[in-house]
Structure 1
Amino acid sequence: MTRTTSHVPHDLARPDDPHDPTIGDPPMTEPFPSPAQAAASPDAAPADPQARRPWRTALLAGMASYLDAGTIVAVSASLTLWRNQFALDAWQLGFLSAALTVCIGIGAIVGGRIGDRVGRKRVYSFDLLLYAFGLLWIVCAVAPVMLFIGVIIVGLAVGADVPTSITVVGETAPGKRRGRLVTFTQLLWGLGPLIVILVVLASTGLGEWMPRIVFGHLLVLALITWALRRRIGEPVAWKSARTAGATREGARALFRSPLLRNTLFILGFYVLLTIGTNFYGSFGLYSLETVGGLSPSTALLVSLIGVPVVLLTVLAIMRAMDGPARRPIFVVGAIVQVAAWIVPLVLPAGAVTLVIAFVTYGIGTTMAGEAHYKVWSQELFPTELRSTALGLSFGVARIASAISLVFVPTLLASGLVGVSVLMIVVTVGSGFLGLVFMPRRRGESIEEIDARLRVDPVR
């Protein structure tokens, strides 16, 4: 059984001490409960209706990851057509791409905080309607200003949706299945770009209608998701925190003991991770065309090679994210993602080398990347600050990565060496932070996490 150690001020890994019974991996001797057992167990919060249907909640809330990743790829795939259709110059194209990333970051910071103060349901009840409204501007755009307005609205809305939705999954999942349910949202994060690319390929011959169809599919999915989410109630964990008065806690508590170390860890890890993954997502096609010498259509097809591999990797690690294998998975993934960017340093620059690096990196960053970050963010912060911490780290990382991407085209102009060195630095950095500071506890209920991390526990 999982031990509760409320006297420990934080949940970050430290060197194992054989004399300290609070350090190290707690034994996982109990089998994973069936859905019926999970709903009846204490850590499943039986009073919470979502706890009885955790996979449905994970699917509907996890659509935030689908829409987030899908929107980024949709904008990237539409830039060339928009340039010709609306006579956009390089600065305007750059503004569109940067505005989306920055607005997602701002939306996450604001939305995460609102989710802790007034409730998760109040955020995800309206943000997808705002997202759909922004998509309408893009779908119906007849002038550049309509594109700019649409992209800004879409970025703010989808950014606000991510931290609150992931928090809903974490707070309503049974403690011993939280890892797999939160990791499931990564499957949707991978499906978003895949479906968008397939829609792009299917509508390429339709000219300026291609972006309208791509964003139209996101609009339809957003409205369906919004309608189905209306049946998801406010998590019991947040309602209990509000009743106890804990939701009045200010965001500054993240930068005081006992949460300061957790906050700095999550911020540092996710900033480094996102700089790497955003290069992979934002400049993967560009590098295949400029360095690899492929045509745009061929590069798009080649980029699909790694997607099924990544999705299969997510499926392979989902169950293990709740057990003692979580740490070894991270270690292997951290090594693989560093090795991926050593490949371009030893092989000739070209399309084959890039494909090997991208596929290998996709496997590594899936095993040692965002899935862990999402799970950790549920385990390292109490309910009244969980969405705030997730939104802050998500937003800061997106904004930091947007700044770093300014320099990527210059690095690519001289080949793959500069980019490879940058990627090695950020992957080594994120891997080191994760290895040293990842939480050791697993399977705790939300109540146990709150009791351990709340500065002034409310009785």
Structure 2
Amino acid sequence: MAPQLHLDLARSPSDAPPSPPVPRMALATGVVALGGLLFGFDTGVISGALLFLKDQLALNSFQEGAVISALLLGAAVGALAGARPADRFGRRTALIGVSATFTVGLALAAAAPDFWTLLAARAVLGLAVGSASTIVPLYLAEIAPPRLRGRMITVNQILLTVGILVSYLVNLAFAGGGDWRAMFAVGLIPSVAMLIGTFFIPETPAWLDGRTSRPRTGRPRALLTTPGARAALLIGVTLAAVQQFGGINSIIYYAPSIMARAGLPATSSIGYSVAIGTVNVLLTIAAVPLIDRVGRRPLLLWSLAGMAVSLTALGVVLGPAHPGPVGNAVALVAMTSYVGSFAIGLGPVFWILAAEIFPPESRARGTGLCALVNWAANFVVGQAFLPTADAVGERWVFWFFAAVSLGAVLFVARRVPETKNRSLGEIQSALGTR
């Protein structure tokens, strides 16, 4: 018998496990979505902190990349490893562990006396971020009524972008004094709030419904033995890789550094990153009604096309060593339009698809594997961006990202079905014919 890790594909909405009462569901959504906020904060805060800690800790270019990538490598491990305890002990218990790990990692980063301690702190934060990227969407998908599933998963993406914007604002607030430790320490506020709040949220009905059969579930071969699962895996891991090799986190992590290389002072470049972060939040919010109205597939196609055009323009304008005022303005517009294109489509739609396309017996593991690929690709981009940009120039790196985005347009057109207004069972049936 197939496990009931989420809403059972064989069930109609009327006989799915009941969701908690609305007040408890709202509280749970708010608490759990703090994991998305911390996800965004911890990935974004380093962009400003790096401008100051690299001098205080005497970091070379490789060590700068290592500080970025330690979180990403830890996240790759946490993304897949988080699925097992979430299946065995429950989503709520796993989320308690995630919030505790966030708190430990942030406290260690804020107090780090040297490169190695900071590296360890970033790795710990990576475990938390990776686990959150798997468990938070699963929890929201399982606790939501079927008609609200897409929108509630998007709440996580909205809080992720808010977290990135908050990190930029925190960076800007402390940039005058170069206080990178305070930048990290601010993250303790939501992490402690999440840690306390997770003790008061309910376990998901779907996990409780399937716990008696769970010892026989979630085997790796389940992803390869059914046509629907295989098609879902291909779509999920491809879009996971495209999210990163399309360049989004080169902008999120290095926006201040990119603008500083163009000749702007550090405080001005951080200010520009706040504008980019604001667009990220607003366009992600705008995606919420469009996801169920326009559909996942059209948003993906327009998103990827917009990313390709913006990246091409960014590569052109960053060709000269110092673009000048006009070039800086064009670069900011191109970066902003790129982030906006990502935020309204590929950003939220990938996580929605990852949470809804897998069959119940392999959903936790499939979502975790997609997150693993996402973070592994993120690690490669984070580690390689600065050295590659130094070697060949930023323009060629951004043109590579543009080519990936353009190729992804063709993949989505050929392989990704529309899931709007389809039950989970109908999605699996559609995937099984591909």
Q: TM-score, normalised by structure 1?
A: 0.81
Alignment partner, residue 320 of structure 1: 290
**Does the 8 Å contact 2:57/2:114 carry over to 1?**
yes
Alignment partner, residue 351 of structure 2: 374
Instruction: Give 1:292-307 correspondences, 5 Å limit.
Output: 292-307=262-277
C-alpha displacement of 1:325: 3.7
Greater fraction helix: 2
From the CA coordinates, give the structure whose radius of gyration is larger: 1
State, as a whole percentage, how many aligned pairs show the same letter.
23
Alpha-carbon distance in 2 for matches of 1:404, 1:203: 27
Alpha-carbon distance in 2 for matches of 1:450, 1:353: 42
Question: Residue 66 of structure 2 is aligned with which of 83, 95, 108?
Answer: 95
Are residues 262 and 200 of structure 1, via their aligned partners in 2, closer, same or farther at CA, if it must alter by over 3 Å? same
Question: Residue 282 of structure 1 is aligned with which of 234, 243, 253?
Answer: 253
Alignment partner, residue 3 of structure 1: none
Alignment partner, residue 365 of structure 2: 388
Alignment partner, residue 18 of structure 1: none
Alignment partner, residue 240 of structure 1: 209
Are residues 117 and 439 of structure 1, via their aligned partners in 2, closer, same or farther at CA, if it must alter by over 3 Å? farther
Letter in 2 for 1:282: Y
Letter in 2 for 1:317: A
Structure 2's unaligned 5+ residue stretches are 1-8
**Does the 8 Å contact 1:50/1:57 carry over to 2?**
no
Alignment partner, residue 110 of structure 1: 81
C-alpha displacement of 1:200: 1.8
Question: Residue 361 of structure 1 is aligned with which of 334, 338, 346?
Answer: 338
Alpha-carbon distance in 1 for matches of 2:206, 2:397: 44
Alignment partner, residue 14 of structure 2: 42
Moved more, 212-221 or 262-271: 212-221
Are residues 96 and 410 of structure 1, via their aligned partners in 2, closer, same or farther at CA, if it must alter by over 3 Å? closer
C-alpha displacement of 1:142: 2.8
Does residue 271 of the first structure (1) align with residue 241 of the second (2)? yes
C-alpha displacement of 1:53: 4.8
**Does the 8 Å contact 2:296/2:418 carry over to 1?**
no
Are residues 271 and 308 of structure 1, via their aligned partners in 2, closer, same or farther at CA, if it must alter by over 3 Å? same
Letter in 2 for 1:368: G
Residue aligned with 1:87, SS: coil
Alpha-carbon distance in 1 for matches of 2:212, 2:298: 40
Alpha-carbon distance in 1 for matches of 2:61, 2:355: 40
Alpha-carbon distance in 1 for matches of 2:216, 2:145: 22
RMSD of equivalent CA atoms? 2.8
Moved more, 98-107 or 252-261: 252-261
**Does the 8 Å contact 1:105/1:396 carry over to 2?**
yes
Alignment partner, residue 37 of structure 1: none
Moved more, 131-140 or 187-196: 131-140
Letter in 1 for 2:266: P
C-alpha displacement of 1:155: 1.2
Letter in 2 for 1:270: A
Alignment partner, residue 309 of structure 1: 279
Letter in 2 for 1:256: T
C-alpha displacement of 1:431: 2.9
Alpha-carbon distance in 2 for matches of 1:366, 1:176: 22
Structure 1's unaligned 5+ residue stretches are 1-10, 12-40
Does residue 62 of the first structure (1) align with residue 39 of the second (2)? no
C-alpha displacement of 1:52: 6.0
Are residues 363 and 251 of structure 1, via their aligned partners in 2, closer, same or farther at CA, if it must alter by over 3 Å? same
**Does the 8 Å contact 1:197/1:300 carry over to 2?**
yes
Alignment partner, residue 228 of structure 1: 197
**Does the 8 Å contact 1:180/1:320 carry over to 2?**
no
Deviations 1:74-119 (A, max 9, x none): 2232224323333334443332222111111111111123323432
Are residues 87 and 216 of structure 1, via their aligned partners in 2, closer, same or farther at CA, if it must alter by over 3 Å? same
Alpha-carbon distance in 2 for matches of 1:247, 1:52: 34
Residue aligned with 1:206, SS: coil
Residue aligned with 1:233, SS: coil
Question: Residue 156 of structure 2 is aligned with which of 164, 172, 185?
Answer: 185
C-alpha displacement of 1:410: 4.6
Residue aligned with 2:405, SS: helix
Alpha-carbon distance in 2 for matches of 1:348, 1:72: 24
Residue aligned with 1:230, SS: helix
Alignment partner, residue 428 of structure 1: 406
Moved more, 243-252 or 352-361: 243-252
Instruction: Give 1:128-143 correspondences, 5 Å limit.
Output: 128-143=99-114
Alignment partner, residue 442 of structure 1: 420
C-alpha displacement of 1:247: 5.5
C-alpha displacement of 1:148: 2.5
Deviations 1:252-281 (A, max 9, x none): 311222311211211011112122212222
Instruction: Give 1:124-273 correspondences, 5 Å limit.
Output: 124-207=95-178, 210-245=179-214, 248-258=217-227, 259-273=229-243
Alignment partner, residue 25 of structure 1: none
C-alpha displacement of 1:450: 10
Are residues 320 and 113 of structure 1, via their aligned partners in 2, closer, same or farther at CA, if it must alter by over 3 Å? same
Moved more, 295-304 or 382-391: 382-391
Question: Residue 306 of structure 2 is aligned with which of 325, 336, 343?
Answer: 336
C-alpha displacement of 1:454: 13
C-alpha displacement of 1:416: 4.2
Are residues 424 and 136 of structure 1, via their aligned partners in 2, closer, same or farther at CA, if it must alter by over 3 Å? same
Alpha-carbon distance in 2 for matches of 1:354, 1:155: 30
Moved more, 115-124 or 158-167: 115-124
Letter in 1 for 2:167: V
Q: How many residue pairs get matched? A: 411
C-alpha displacement of 1:400: 2.2
